[in-house]
Amino acid sequence: MTTSVPASRRSRAVSGRARTRLTAVGAVVVTLCAGLGLRIVATGSLAKYGGDALYTLLVFALVVAAVPRVAARRAAAGALAVSWAVEFLQLTGVPAELSRHSVFARLVLGSTFNPPDLFWYAVGAAAGWLGHVAAGRLWARPGRRSGVGRV
């Protein structure tokens, strides 16, 4: 026996997913601007490790944009896994070679393995998780329902 979901509930769910996706796409744009801006105005450790955290935050936002109903902890775990995979890929030398030929590859893949980067990727994943949960609580105020912010 199947039950149908009332049309009004379906439309709220769709609008919740659309709102989540739109918010995530906005976060992608803001994070890209922040990361590129950081590279322009900062140097040293702030630019390096801030960029690492923003990199994972960007991956987090891309995951949420692609899968708006994803739980925050899963999006954070996925973003962290991707970031760590890219960092460990740098041990092979492939990203370094690609980075020599492309600015885009240098921005996405980096070139040199650096163990402290692993910690800063975790900081970015945690920031994404906290932001996602906070957004969900904001949207889940009385009278609102949303898939955003599921832990």
Beta-carbon contacts of 38 under 8 Å, excluding residues fewer than 6 positions away, are 46, 47, 50, 51, 54
Task: Identify whether the C-beta of residue 59 lies closer than 8 Å to the C-beta of residue 87.
Answer: no
pLDDT single digits (tens) 51-88: 999 999 999 999 999 999 999 999 999 999 999 999 99
Average pLDDT of the residues in 14-38: 91
CA dihedral 132, 138, 144, 149 (to 10 degrees): 20
Neighbours of 128 (CB within 10 A): 27
Cα 130 from Cα 74, distance rounded (Å): 12
- Is the pLDDT at 6 greater than 90? The verdict is no
* Residue-level pLDDT at 139: 75
More confident residue, 139 or 36: 36
DSSP 85-113: HHHHHGGGSHHHHHHHH-HHHHHHH-SS-
Backbone angles phi, psi at 15, to 5 degrees: -65, -35
Task: Identify whether the C-beta of residue 149 lies closer than 8 Å to the C-beta of residue 137.
Answer: yes
- Is the pLDDT at 91 greater than 90? The verdict is yes
pLDDT-above-90 percentage for the chain: 73
* Residue-level pLDDT at 107: 86
